Amino acid sequence: MASRHPFQRGGGGLPGSGLPAPRDLVIILAVLFATFSMQFFASTAWLMGLLELTPLVLRGLVWQLATYPFIGTRGSGLWFLLELLILFWFARDIYWRLGRRRFWRVLGGAAIAASVAAVVVEWVIAILAPSFPHLPFVTMQGQRILLTITIAAFATLYGEATILLFFVLPIRARWFLWLEILFAFVFGVLSVKDVPGFVGVCVAVFTTYASLSPGGPGQVIRRWRKQLEMRIIQYRLDRMRRRRRFDVIDGDRDRDRDGGGWVN
C-alpha cells in the first residue's frame, strides 16, 4: 500500500513521509518479531500459547484479552514482515497525529473491545454448536488486530486521502473501513470459519471509528439512528407517492365544476 495526500494538518504520509519512527512503535514491532520467532522453539512456544488469544480465556486466562495483540501470528515469514511494514507505515502517522496517550487509548480500547466480543461469540458457539469446525481468533490474532485498528484510524482521520491498494489500485482511505470488514469476512468466515474473529474485527473497526469521530461512540450511534429513521421516513414517502401515481381515475365522466354535478 502507499498513500498520496498532503497531510496538511499535523501529519506526514505513507510510506515515505519523513516522519521519525516513534519509540513506542519500534518497541511494538520488536515485541511482535520476538514473539513470532519464539513460537518456532519448543522451549518458548508454550509461553506464547498462554499469551495469545485462545478459548482458554473462558477457563480463566483472562489476561489474553489484553496480551494477544503483541504476539506475532505464525505464518509465512515473508508475509509477516510485510504486515509489520504496513503496520509501521500506518501506525507511525496515527501516532504523530494523536499523540502518545491517545494513540495507546485508541489501540488498547479497540483491541480489548474486539477480544471481549470475539470471546462472547466463541462462548455462544461452544454452547449452541460445540462440534462446529472453526479456527477461533485467527483473523484477529497478533499484528492483524493492530493492523485493523491502525488502518481504521487512518481511514477515519484521513478519509479523503488516496491509498494505493496493493501499490496499484487508488482508493479513498475512508473505504478501507468497509474493505477491512470485507477481507475479514472472506478470510475469516469463508476460509477458516473464524466467526468469532470476524466479529472481533468488526468491533475493532467500529470502536476505532467511533472513538475518533466527533462526539465519540454515543454521537455516532445517535447519528446512525437518525439516518436510519430518515431512510425509513423517505421509504414511506416514496411508497405513498407510488401508490398515488397508480390511482384509477374514471375517464368516462367529468366533474361539472360549475353545476356541482356529474355529466355524461
pLDDT given for residue 170 in this prediction: 76
pLDDT given for residue 70 in this prediction: 94
- Domain residue ranges of the chain, discontinuous segments joined by +: 20-213
Who wins on pLDDT, 249 or 11? 249
Who wins on pLDDT, 143 or 260? 143
pLDDT given for residue 198 in this prediction: 95
Q: Tens digits of per-residue pLDDT, 87-124?
A: 998 999 999 999 999 999 999 999 999 999 999 999 99
pLDDT of 18 > 70? The answer is no
Q: Tens digits of per-residue pLDDT, 226-242?
A: 666 677 777 677 777 77
Q: Tens digits of per-residue pLDDT, 169-184?
A: 777 888 889 989 999 9
Who wins on pLDDT, 69 or 250? 69
pLDDT of 74 > 80? The answer is no
Q: Tens digits of per-residue pLDDT, 122-167?
A: 999 999 988 888 888 999 999 999 999 999 999 999 877 777 766 6
CA distance 66 to 76: 24
pLDDT given for residue 4 in this prediction: 42
Mean pLDDT over residues 10-18, rounded?
50
pLDDT of 30 > 60? The answer is yes
Class at the top of the CATH hierarchy for domain 20-213: mainly alpha
pLDDT given for residue 26 in this prediction: 95
pLDDT given for residue 9 in this prediction: 38
pLDDT given for residue 169 in this prediction: 75
Mean pLDDT over residues 6-35, rounded?
72
Q: Tens digits of per-residue pLDDT, 191-212?
A: 888 999 999 999 999 999 999 9
